[in-house]
Amino acid sequence: MLTILFVVLLLVMLGVRIWLSTRQIRHVLAHRDVVPKEFAAKIGLPSHQRAADYTVAKVRLRMLEMLFDAAVLIGLTLLGGLQYLDTLTSSVTSHALLRQVLLVLSVFLFLGVLGIPFTLYRQFKLEAHFGFNRMTLKMFVSDTIKETLVGALLGIPLIAAVLWLMSEAGNLWWLWAWALWSAFSLLLAFIYPTWIAPVFNKFTPLEDAALAQRIQELAGRCGFTLSGLFVMDGSKRSAHGNAYFTGFGRARRIVFFDTLLARLTPNEIIAVLAHELGHFKHRHILKRMITMFIGSLIFFALLGWLATQSWFYTDLGVIPQMGTRNDAMALLLFFLVVPIFTFGLTPLKSWLSRRDEFEADRFARDQSSADELINALVKLMDDNASTLTPDPVHSAFYDSHPPAAIRIRQLTAA
């Protein structure tokens, strides 16, 4: 029964995603030759057409990836890929915990290697074609090695600990595993700004004293304590610009891409940061974290039950090994197939995110200037070649941010 449900939902997901992608392509191309009136005075037709072509190219690549990923998923499950890897790792060692850690790592490695061609094409062909890529092949290899080492350093102990809990913590192992995962997630949020991010990028204090003073005053008015203002050398990899908050408590900091500082005026930067501070003021990040922890608790509880059901393995193409633990296989099967069963929640998550964005926009309007936020938004859309004319259905289903035209209308009306 699970086999049929899994295949049906996978086909439905693929059908919906392909339908949405084709809608997006048709809609963007249909509006390629006319700049929307909200942007006509600030964005030229060549820039608008470049953004349309960039969007279409990205969607087409994603369509190819989704078909490839679906084929890989079927290969790992129903066609016996996981079964083969389980047999292979069993021939390497008979130690139960080590065998299972090796199984998880082998699947991650397999999926990572399969994804490299898409990553290379996206970075050195698609991004380069539209003028965004500044990464060299040497830097790509270096980043890949660093990501692998950091992932192994953090991930292997976590995987081993969860597998140990599954075998030693009794029927409520899933509760202990959830607590461990939650603590790990919080720890990662604390250490990322100061220990992990600097492995990949250089961070220097913001040198513009006047801008730094204005940012500190804005943060003070919003009750936001900062540990520092930093500039990240994002331009060495990409021409895209961004800014973000990171860290918790006294370790919170604001990070600017150097590309963003070079493009926006001080007033526009203040407006962008006011928007981000709106998320903090309205507790959007805290609410999302609580939702994430509650959702993960439900998933761990569900996994705790499914791991004891033989049909969960056999219906997904795996024959459990007798006389030994199958915890790693349960983990892998669960996290491989869960996205198929939760795909229907995507538009709800997108709607909730867009609602928060509107609320942050209103906060930024009150704390800075609607006009400056609009100017910054238009510049960022132009610089990042974001489409000005997304398909409404595609946008409602996927987009975490409202279309720029709608945001501008609301800010203008306000």
Does the annotation place 357 within a ligand binding site?
A: yes
Selecting among 38, 86, 268, 276, the annotated active-site residue is 276
DSSP letter for each residue of 365-391: HHHS-HHHHHHHHHHHHHHTT--SS--
CB neighbourhood size of 37 (10 A): 8
The question of whether 361 is a catalytic residue gets the answer: yes
Cβ atoms of 390 and 21 closer than 8 Å: no
Does the annotation place 129 within a ligand binding site?
A: no
Kind and range of the H or E run holding 255: strand 253-257
Does the annotation place 168 within a ligand binding site?
A: no
Q: Within a 13 Å sphere around the CA of 335, how many CA atoms are in the beta-carbon half?
A: 10
DSSP letter for each residue of 6-53: HHHHHHHHHHHHHHHHHHHHHHHHHTTTS--TTTTTTS-HHHHHHHHH
What string of H, E and C letters represents the secondary structure of 300-363? Answer: HHHHHHHCCCHHHHHCCCCCCCCCCCCHHHHHHHHHHHHHHHHHHHHHHHHHHHHHHHHHHHHH
- Counted residue by residue, the chain has a size of 414
Cβ atoms of 404 and 386 closer than 8 Å: yes
The question of whether 53 is a catalytic residue gets the answer: no
Q: What whole-number distance in Å separates Cα of residue 299 and Cα of residue 161?
A: 18
Q: What whole-number distance in Å separates Cα of residue 106 and Cα of residue 111?
A: 9
DSSP letter for each residue of 197-246: HHHHS-EEE---HHHHHHHHHHHHHTT---SEEEEE-GGGTBS---EEEE
Q: What whole-number distance in Å separates Cα of residue 344 and Cα of residue 17?
A: 11
Selecting among 38, 86, 361, 382, the annotated active-site residue is 361
Q: Token pair for residue 254?
A: 């604001």
Please work out, in degrees rounded to the nearest 5, the angle formed at the alpha carbon of residue 161 by the alpha carbons of 157 and 162. 120
Q: Give the strand pairing for 228-232 and 253-257.
A: parallel
Return binding residues for Zn(2+).
275, 279, 357
Return binding residues.
275, 279, 357
Which residues belong to the active site? 276, 361
